[in-house]
Amino acid sequence: MFKIASVRSLWVLLIATAAACSDQRQPAPAAPVPPQPRAAAQSAWTEYAGRFIEDYFKAHPFFAVQSGRHEFDGQMTDLSAAGIAKNVEQLKKARAEAVAFDAAALTPDQSFEREYVLSVIDRELFWLDRARAPFTNPAWYIDQIDPEVYLSRDYAPLEKRLKGYVGYAHAIPQIAADVRANLHVPLPKSLVERGIAGFGGYAQFYRNDVARVFASVQDPAAQKELADADATAAKAMDDLKAWLVSQRENATDAFALGEPLFTEMLKATEQVDVPIADLAAIGRADLDRNTQALKEACAQFLPKGTLRACVDKMNAHKPKGGPVEGARAQLADLRAFIVAKHIVTIPSNEQALVAEAPPYMRGNFAYINIPGPYDKGVASTYNISPPDPSWSAKERAAYIPGEADLLYTSVHEVWPGHFQQFLHANRNPSKIAALWVGYAYAEGWAHYCEEMMWEEGLGNGDAEQHIGQLANALLRDVRFLSAIGLHTQGMTLAQAENLFRDSAFSDPGNARQQAARGTYDPAYLNYTLGKLMIRKLRADWVARQTGATAGETGAAPAGTNTGVGGAGAGDPKNSWQAFHDKFLSYGGPPIPLVRKVMLGEAGSLF
């Protein structure tokens, strides 16, 4: 989820000698690449791509496990400073090799894959070598060591998964020692608190929850090894947590990347090269657009109330049985809606499970764990976090979203959001595209789906449903503005928290949580960033297909009930399924790269 040196298309320069000016002859065209060298280059690229994947798996065996390559079970990535430095050098070497390929000699698919590999490498090099995340940000590690693959992915019998998990658990004490050695103190307060919550959550999970998962394994020796490994891992995480607690006294407020590094982050990780002031204006415009839509929806739902009262009324209608049961009830209806409206092709009959999030991954309300492309027939799990027990009873109650809000969270996480998108990505013929899905692509698609589903008629124009969709949109708009403000404009954590409460109408617990996330996840503007790029790409692509102008193919003005009753003849939405299927066919590279392929040129991103 946090889950970067600019990636630019690399073109072959054709150099021709000019003919004498006196005879006015045109320069001779460059000779085409002969067939034999072209075939050799294409074969060499296929070998390079396969080797890049295998070398990456060897350097990152836990990533390999999560991708479904279970010969790596039980192995963990070397997260020591020396291991990270070695990884950086390997990535730089792999980049130089990819750059050396003549793009003109490759097939179009290979040329695209080459750009894709370069984007993957540049993203990782930014976080490792430029932002120095392993040395400055405890949150960087929390995703790196999530053991969910062994616990809830049914890729093998429990006995086999237990062996893999024990190998994982045996590695945790060394990883904890590496984390402590790597982190440079003093650390920012919010990052200290995220580390305390995350590593403390792991300790609690190892100690209290893992044994229940493997309780049915009838092997006393294996059970003893599991108990010993969990106890040692829990102590290592408790010690790491205690060390971070000791850092509270000297913690700082210096979490900001600064404008130069933040700008570099956007270029290196998402190929977005737009001035910060322009981005901030784009974010404010989307916030204004969604706020106006909320005013219009609230005029129907609570005519004489404030916007806060209107959102509170929507959130007071809680999902029956709680959010986990409520989400389960929503998924079948969402899938049926997608099929009935011909919104996007669903490539399989797979279904997502819904569960309560484990203690170490409760920094956000909801997320989904999806198996990698090498796993077959393994279920994905849509996780929903309970409120923090340390909050007041009023805050805990407010944290549970309303039924309409939850519906669009389910859209985002499952149908047709992340789950649907990864059904396509995992089947991509390019393993590069299947393995590496970018932040703005994945979160942009999922967030785009929320508004698109409303436009397609989800909710049949019901004002409460629209408020649920808009509550999610406003939250992402405020993330966008908070990321820019926190990291480039001197915004404080308190100011960000107030922005979530005042402009996204978040409850206090969510506002506190979301503001803090912006300090350790500076790229969480990618939800709105990706959504806006996809909406612009859709408008431009549909215009190409239909001969309409781009302005005629976009969404209707915010606040109108578009899509209700289905698209009519000549409606641009008739082309949306083709757009969605085409967009999802690329895996998950930077959206500007997709734009170049789909339109033949970069053009305006927003």
pLDDT for 305-314, tens place per residue? Answer: 999 999 999 9
- What's residue 198's pLDDT? 95
Q: Output the six-digit token pair for 89.
A: 């050098």
- What's residue 21's pLDDT? 35
**Residue 21 CB partners (closer than 8 Å, separation 6+):** none
Q: What is the pLDDT of residues 77-123, one digit of tens each?
A: 999 999 999 999 999 999 999 999 999 999 999 999 999 999 999 99
CA distance 472 to 447: 8
Positions in the chain short of pLDDT 50: 1-27, 555-566
Check if the beta carbon of residue 483 is closer than 8 Å to that of residue 255: no
CA distance 431 to 425: 9
User: What global pTM score does this model have?
Assistant: 0.89
By CB neighbour count within 10 A (0-12 exposed, 13-18 middle, 19+ buried), where does 194 fall?
Answer: buried
- What's residue 574's pLDDT? 84
- Residue 132 half-sphere exposure toward CB, CA atoms < 13 A: 8
Check if the beta carbon of residue 460 is closer than 8 Å to that of residue 337: no
Indicate the SS3 state at residue 356: strand
**Residue 500 CB partners (closer than 8 Å, separation 6+):** 475, 478, 482, 506, 510, 511, 514, 515
- What's residue 238's pLDDT? 98
Q: Which has the closest alpha carbon to 476: 229, 198, 200, 290? A: 290
